[in-house]
Structure 1
Amino acid sequence: MHMKKYLLTLLSVACFCISSQAQIDYYFPGEEFDSAIPSPQSYLGYEIGEWHTRYDRLVAYFEKLAEVSPMAELKTIGYTNQLRPLVVLVISKSDNIQNLENIRQNHIKLVDPNQNMPDVSGMPAIINLAYSVHGNEPSGGEASILTAYWLLASKSELAGEIRNNAVVMIDPAINPDGRDRHTNWANMHKGFPPVADPLDREHNEIWPSGRVNHYWFDLNRDWLPLAHVELQKKIEWYHSWYPNVVGDFHEMGTNSTYFFEPTKAFSSENPVVPRKNYEEINSKFAGYFAKALDEIGSLYWTKEVFDNSYPGYGSTYPDIQGGLGLVFEQGSSRGHIQASQRGDITFEFTIKNQLKTSIATMEAGVREREYMHRYLREFFQTAVSEANSSRTKSYVFGDLYDESRNRLFLKLLLDHKIKVYENTRDISLEGQQFQKGKSWVVPTEQPQYRMVRSMFEKVTEFADSVFYDASSWTMALAYGIPYAAQGTVTMGEQITALPDRVVEFPQDGKYVAYLVDWSDYFAPKLLHQLQEAGIHVETSAKEFTSNTITGEKEFPAGTLVIPTAFQKLDDSKLHEILKSASEKSGVPVFATTTGFAVKGIDLGSNNVSAIQVPKVIMLIGQGTSQYEAGEIWHLMDTKVGMPISKVDISLFGRVNLYDYNTLILPSGNFSALSISQIAHIKDWLNRGGTIISLRMASQWLQSQEIVKEEDLQLETVKDPDFVSFGNRRDFEGAKAIGGSIYKGKLDITHPLGFGYRSGEIPVYRNSTIFFKPSKDKYQTPVRYAENPLMGGYISPSNLEKIKQSASVLVSPVGNGRVIHFIDNPNFRGTWFGTNKLFFNAIFFGNKI
């Protein structure tokens, strides 16, 4: 028996070795490698593609490469929400690794047109290979391991040429948290042998998928808004280097082959990017990719579908920074092997294609390096010259009442290296007032002119009517910041960093009440801190002017009133907690020694009432939108610091809604709820509960007759009897609303309008859900303006529907109410201008 076991062991080892050599030949046929560099198999204990590699093991292998090779250096640029390191492996010849800072300083001279042009003939190409921004697109992350090994260990002429003439920076995973979520899923469901059936559990992740990060966001949309730490750190790193070439590696449906750029001309391209990028440079690089995939017989396609218009993609942002962003899409095995229309697709096959285009990207970057260096300088030179020929010479922005939102927008501009200056005079433009000290100037004549356009321009004319994603992304509108274009430019000192915020706070004393203006974006954060500390807080339903200890001040509806007479704490402790909350939130607190108002209601008015402490539950899980749920979770975590209970639909049978006063329903299908569970919701709602529903959730509530709102039905132009089959996508796609911005009319006297100073508000819409305004004339707090389109594409028939529909409405149900957000107020963690509508629904919902 012992001899038999020994022979079996020898046989299994022999089989593994044969398999190992076969896989080396599969990925690197005919190549020789430096034995001093450990191969992935020797370090990890398995061949790449045999298992999905955990992120910690991937990083450990990169650490090993940096340890054993003088041609590699591993840099940690930040950490994820789950404290996984965000790493970049830098590979070049050893002289370059020892001289990285000088190389960087010389390279970024190309970005500044005011500096003398350096000699580019000897400058290395700066190449960034970025993988796994979507965590469940794992072939890229595995290819990063093989790419790093090949570049360091291969004895080929090409590998040596790249090491000598490039600084290659490898991001193995922009989204490590999501990647590990998918990695664990695929590995825990792997069969022996693996199962190719697409219905097998391995190929069908549960909710939330590995695509998204910790907060369930799609990070490939975050390069512009920078809502998340992963991209905040990535952009900080990016602007320290300005790579010439950025590879952005993705996966797509299993039945597809391989996609690389160019994308569809004009309709898939960003309007501020020079035509040279699309018509000349893309074509130049495409030849390298075609050759690489032709060598192994892999099929591919180009010039179709994939979008490069939205600046927040990893393949578009580099195009607006003088580099070349390249999107790669591999048909996914979504596991270790999966059946497709062309036969079984293996994990190894998907990795091999990503490896080939990774090497081809480096080869192209090196061979075209002088050309790309000159283009980098040309890009920023032409940006300044384009600005000079523009009639708009500057933008002025600033909110008179919301310093927090001003600072948030200012930080966004600075993070994108946009030059901002103090405004030195009071200005009236387009019916808006911009005060000295509370507004800023962004000149268009600057190297980042194209990013300035992305932040402020409103675009409504397009080459196409079909959009993969958003058709509008004006960030000033998303922030709800008042702004205007100027044909002149007058400015003060440049703002190079976000200034410290000094919040004045009243001295300890004998006061009747403390007052907080709800206009400040972070006022909800302060309110939560006070309620958590057990402080009684009230709010005013009407505006008033109070004689505070610092002078008369006007307060709008929604103002927080903290009376000193009704607190369980003594005055000193109350003062201490208020001061701490003010410092943490950055929100000013005012004090008054009288309840008598100079103008408007007094503090003892019946229009001042207690704010209930929110007890919030959100239903999530299969069938609901992980994006919308994540947006809400992220909003309450990062902007309010308030925990909410996230409960899976499958566990709703254990929920007693009477433990909560607010139920949030993100978009989705709640058909998993039983008749008795729906009855429980109805009873709770009738007894005074508040439901906050988004988009499709409102349709579900309507289908269950929980609310009795009406869909908007208009006579539309009849479709022609015949449309060619080949044009069906464009014809039907034009009927969708792919993300556009509209002017809403806001009732600032409604509890959902508390804290707003203007009756106009930009809203974001990306659905064709249309509800009629409420039959109750008081309960449509946000409807659309007569000419609502502010940015993006919309068909004429959909535009007519928007004009007659509601953006936000309220359905009274018994003693409760349902607050419907037909437009998402929290879209991608970016819409600071509409977040307050959602905050108001949570804190003031029971006052409607």
Structure 2
Amino acid sequence: MFKKLCGLLFIFVWTSQAQDYFYKKFQPFNSDIPSPQEFLGYAIGDHHTRHDRIVSYMETLAELSDRATISSYGRTHEGRYLVMLTVSSPSNLNQLEQIKEQHLAFTDPEQNPTNYDEVPVFINLGYNVHGNEPSSSEAAMLSAYTLVASNNPEILNYLDKAVIFVDPTINPDGRDRHTQWANMYQGNPLVSDPQDAEHNEYWPGGRTNHYWFDLNRDWLLGIHPESRGKLAWYHEWYPNVVTDFHEMGTQSTYFFEPMKANGSLNPIMPKENYEDLNNIFGEYFAKALDSIGSFYFTKEVFDGTYPGYGSSYPDLQGGLGLLFEQASSRGHKQKTAFGEINFPFTIRNQYTSSMTTVKAAVENKAFLRKYQQDFFKSALSRAGNSRIRGYRFEDKYDPNRTKAFIDKLLLHKIDVYESGDGYVVPTRQPQYRMVQTMFETYSKYRDSVYYDASGWSVANFYNMKYRTVTSLNTGQKINSTDGLVKPAAIQRSDYAYVLDWDDYNAPAALHFLQSNGLTLSTSFKPFTVNSNNGPKTLNYGALVLPVPLQKKSPETVFKLLQKAQQQFQIPIYGVSTGYSSSGVDLGSRYIRALKKPKAAMLIGHGTRSYEAGEVWHLLDTRVRMPITKIPMRNFDRANLYKYTSLVMVSGRYELDEKQRKKITDWVEKGNTLITIGSASEWVIKKKMVKEELISSEKDSTKTVKRLPYVEAEEHLGKEEVGGIIVKVDIDRTHPLGFGYRDNSIPVYKNNSVWISPSKNAYATVAKYAKDPHIDGFITEKNTETFLKPAASLVVSKLGGGRVVLFADNPNFRGSWYGTNRLFLNALFLGDKIRVPE
């Protein structure tokens, strides 16, 4: 069947008759249940399997066997079903609701069950969160078949003592994107040359979901339907063990936990998780992989510091999250330094780890249950030992951003209560550790190199003002965000309407009204009017809609405003006079008409798909505004003059002088170029704008300290800015700052783009504060040399237009509600920026 070629990787000659290579040890099998090979018509590993066929196979297993049922926990952006196959003994499935009730008793700190070894352990085998890491979904079919069809005593014992939830494809949209690519370029005979098209996907690749988001970072943030559906399922079942199967570079072997030590100084997950459980399970995986001759490593890399992975979120819910990383064949067969690695080989390791997870969980189920019980009880005791009794937050100027933050808290089953004019989150609750994740910030760390961000206090993502409280004054508990925002009904006016720009949904409402033929203006100064709902004071950027100047009747205007309010739940006020009680009048020259923006974005080779997806997702799902995505390969023939704004996200742009001139000529005609991260760095280096970067000049005469070679990765890694939250001071009078009420806001920084404040006194919109640190690790050198002197947001004049340079990503992971406004202001108000010289 397979033949050993070398020491680190075992490579095999595969034939379509070799399927029992995977699961021969679990014979005999029920012949009435089709194997994956019999169902698909090809051997597992011969081709990449589409998601719909995987789902169909799972449905067939549930239809033919009394050991399995299937359900759906959601649909993807592209409409693919997210399914869960539940497998256990027929007896367990017949009384699953009673078993579930017994299981959940261990997650309730107020209950004290002691039947730890009597209740079946709950195991969630989760696969393929990264679409182009495909081996695990193939292994999911093998695992499901083994559990459903095997009559081996070992399997029957597992079914009696466990309920196994098989989630075969967490990211179906990405998987099918990659499956199409791999099968489309599959050769016959197979081509193992790493340069072959099969092993090199075109941008954006299959890793991400429809909007090019990494779903393995979305467990905490819960932005996408895949994650929100899974989180809802998770908090219904609270599994004891959760697997998270991945792939890594082809030249590697296989990784399983224990991970690298947690980077936090005082991790909020219990030591029993990463010191005891990981080591217990690790011994099982080592023995199983040794038995099939697979090489592996542990502890060297990867960390669970960020709580939003599929392998770390369960650790904060009383379960054990387990990460697996398989060297990828990136196709069906590929050359490596140790010979060839093929698709079936990668599948076998994932399948072996799947079945070993079930074995380890069953044999340690009493320990796992007691651990989960202690986890939730310790949440209350830990909270009781803290002087902090809760966190109070509010933003009376932006109820929809507040609503979005509360939705995030409720998604994680965090208790939230009304409290006076604001809201309060008590610390003493079962989800205390998630409360810590949402609000606590840190400045000291045990480690300085992270696999992901080191700062993630979610309240700061939302620019949510909060404070600790040492005593609680709670009102009604909030169970849903439905009806949480209740703007006063619009009172009709035949003169004018005003809309406050402070609300998160105001740009969406503006786009809706502009798309329906209405013309609105923006105010460059605050004012107070006597509206039909009483006196209202409006901030910089407030919108004014003069009714007599519209091309539509007053009745039609009113109905459109009603629709806008119904859709976006924003306050809109009718006024009967243009005379303001304070501030500018409605006919002031400081109130300027707005043009409807038309935006485009460069995508494709050289651009960062994550950031491009974040822009696309923001405009699609929250503003409901289309954006034209122009592939780099089409740039030369693209007509930029169809657009008012062009977005360039981070990337490695390879535009020549002629192509750069095409952009600058377009900007000079009065348009707006918006650059983010390294794209801002690029336009500065190419001297397309008259701005400068901060650099650290190396002193060639200085003696370099000699360091151990083996420590180079750690020493150099800590100088990177992996992900921190810092404070900036913004100019709220600048159009890019319209809608903010505070001069200081948190921003997210995960790059080394350091822009000097503009030499134009009016062009630095946001500069890092004197004391900028909020959360996350950054070296003193980076803080003093780069961060403190630098600007986060600068506008540079270019002819009759302007370039908006973001040093930091205002749309990071679809979650930075607090800085989305800066980006949306650049789109909607960019042409109103006149940079004085």
> Given the two structures, how large is their TM-score scaled by the length of structure 1?
0.95
Task: Verify: 1:109 aligned to 2:105, yes or no.
Answer: yes
Residues 185/318 of structure 1: CA separation in 2 closer, same or farther (3 Å cut): same
Deviations 1:536-579 (A, max 9, x none): 11110110111111111110010010011110000000000010
Question: 2:117 maps to which residue?
Answer: 121
- Secondary structure (helix, strand or coil) at the match of 2:653 reads coil
* Offset, 1:666: 0.7
Task: Verify: 1:705 aligned to 2:687, yes or no.
Answer: yes
Question: 1:472 maps to which residue?
Answer: 455
CA distance in 2, matches of 1:723, 1:560: 60
Structure 2: which 5+ residue stretches go unaligned?
1-13
Decide whether the 8 Å contact of 1:268 with 1:307 is kept in 2: no
Pairing partner for 1:757 from 719, 722, 741: 741
Question: 1:134 maps to which residue?
Answer: 130
The within-5 A match list for 1:24-173 is 24-29=20-25, 31-117=27-113, 119-173=115-169
Decide whether the 8 Å contact of 1:270 with 1:311 is kept in 2: no
CA distance in 2, matches of 1:154, 1:622: 47
Pairing partner for 1:666 from 636, 649, 653: 649
Task: Tell me which amino acid in the other structure corresponds to 1:329.
Answer: E
Question: 1:691 maps to which residue?
Answer: 673
Task: Verify: 1:336 aligned to 2:364, yes or no.
Answer: no
Task: Verify: 1:443 aligned to 2:426, yes or no.
Answer: yes
- Secondary structure (helix, strand or coil) at the match of 2:764 reads coil
- Secondary structure (helix, strand or coil) at the match of 1:22 reads coil
Moved more, 23-32 or 195-204: 23-32
Aligned residues: 816
Pairing partner for 2:795 from 798, 810, 835: 810
- Secondary structure (helix, strand or coil) at the match of 1:322 reads coil
CA distance in 1, matches of 2:56, 2:434: 37
Question: 1:835 maps to which residue?
Answer: 820
* Offset, 1:96: 1.5
Decide whether the 8 Å contact of 1:519 with 1:755 is kept in 2: yes
Structure 1: which 5+ residue stretches go unaligned?
1-17, 425-435
Decide whether the 8 Å contact of 1:269 with 1:308 is kept in 2: no
Decide whether the 8 Å contact of 2:254 with 2:295 is kept in 1: yes
Pairing partner for 1:675 from 647, 651, 657: 657
Question: 2:600 maps to which residue?
Answer: 617
Residues 513/118 of structure 1: CA separation in 2 closer, same or farther (3 Å cut): farther
- Secondary structure (helix, strand or coil) at the match of 2:548 reads coil
Moved more, 696-705 or 753-762: 696-705
Decide whether the 8 Å contact of 1:774 with 1:809 is kept in 2: yes
Decide whether the 8 Å contact of 1:419 with 1:442 is kept in 2: yes
* Offset, 1:736: 0.4
Question: 1:519 maps to which residue?
Answer: 502
* Offset, 1:755: 0.5
Question: 2:635 maps to which residue?
Answer: 652
Decide whether the 8 Å contact of 2:315 with 2:321 is kept in 1: yes
CA distance in 1, matches of 2:264, 2:60: 41
Residues 663/270 of structure 1: CA separation in 2 closer, same or farther (3 Å cut): farther
Question: 2:769 maps to which residue?
Answer: 785
Task: Tell me which amino acid in the other structure corresponds to 2:268.
Answer: V
Decide whether the 8 Å contact of 1:511 with 1:594 is kept in 2: no
CA distance in 2, matches of 1:164, 1:656: 65
Task: Tell me which amino acid in the other structure corresponds to 2:665.
Answer: D
Decide whether the 8 Å contact of 2:45 with 2:343 is kept in 1: yes
Residues 270/568 of structure 1: CA separation in 2 closer, same or farther (3 Å cut): farther
Moved more, 718-727 or 362-371: 718-727
Decide whether the 8 Å contact of 1:27 with 1:352 is kept in 2: no
CA distance in 2, matches of 1:605, 1:30: 81
RMSD, aligned α-carbons: 1.4
* Offset, 1:27: 4.4
Decide whether the 8 Å contact of 1:268 with 1:305 is kept in 2: no
* Offset, 1:506: 2.4
Deviations 1:391-422 (A, max 9, x none): 21110011010000110001110110001111
CA distance in 1, matches of 2:168, 2:240: 19
Task: Tell me which amino acid in the other structure corresponds to 1:699.
Answer: E
Question: 1:404 maps to which residue?
Answer: 400
* Offset, 1:493: 1.8
The within-5 A match list for 1:351-430 is 351-424=347-420
Deviations 1:316-370 (A, max 9, x none): 0000000000000000001001111221001000000000000000011111111
CA distance in 1, matches of 2:157, 2:553: 74
Decide whether the 8 Å contact of 1:110 with 1:376 is kept in 2: yes
Task: Tell me which amino acid in the other structure corresponds to 1:550.
Answer: N
* Offset, 1:814: 0.7
Task: Tell me which amino acid in the other structure corresponds to 2:263.
Answer: S
Deviations 1:226-259 (A, max 9, x none): 0111000000000000000001000000111110
CA distance in 1, matches of 2:777, 2:697: 21
Deviations 1:271-311 (A, max 9, x none): 11011111111111111111110110100111111121101
Question: 2:472 maps to which residue?
Answer: 489
Question: 2:750 maps to which residue?
Answer: 766
- Secondary structure (helix, strand or coil) at the match of 2:302 reads coil
* Offset, 1:715: 5.5
> Given the two structures, how large is their TM-score scaled by the length of structure 2?
0.96
Moved more, 499-508 or 835-844: 499-508
- Secondary structure (helix, strand or coil) at the match of 2:106 reads helix
Task: Tell me which amino acid in the other structure corresponds to 1:526.
Answer: A
Deviations 1:694-730 (A, max 9, x none): 1111122123321121111246796843111111011
Decide whether the 8 Å contact of 1:109 with 1:118 is kept in 2: no
- Secondary structure (helix, strand or coil) at the match of 1:372 reads helix
CA distance in 2, matches of 1:516, 1:719: 62
Task: Verify: 1:643 aligned to 2:626, yes or no.
Answer: yes
Decide whether the 8 Å contact of 2:16 with 2:46 is kept in 1: no
Task: Tell me which amino acid in the other structure corresponds to 1:747.
Answer: D
Moved more, 736-745 or 258-267: 258-267
Decide whether the 8 Å contact of 1:263 with 1:269 is kept in 2: no
* Offset, 1:511: 3.2
CA distance in 2, matches of 1:134, 1:60: 21
Residues 715/701 of structure 1: CA separation in 2 closer, same or farther (3 Å cut): closer
* Offset, 1:58: 0.5
Task: Verify: 1:529 aligned to 2:512, yes or no.
Answer: yes
Moved more, 496-505 or 458-467: 496-505
- Secondary structure (helix, strand or coil) at the match of 2:39 reads helix
Deviations 1:761-797 (A, max 9, x none): 0000001111100110111111011010000000111
CA distance in 2, matches of 1:813, 1:213: 37
* Offset, 1:470: 0.3
Deviations 1:413-434 (A, max 9, x none): 011000111103xxxxxxxxxx
* Offset, 1:168: 0.3
* Offset, 1:505: 2.2
Pairing partner for 2:533 from 535, 550, 553: 550
Moved more, 699-708 or 643-652: 699-708
CA distance in 2, matches of 1:627, 1:455: 23
Question: 2:715 maps to which residue?
Answer: 731
CA distance in 1, matches of 2:501, 2:340: 59
- Secondary structure (helix, strand or coil) at the match of 2:321 reads strand
CA distance in 2, matches of 1:453, 1:249: 27
Task: Tell me which amino acid in the other structure corresponds to 2:768.
Answer: Y
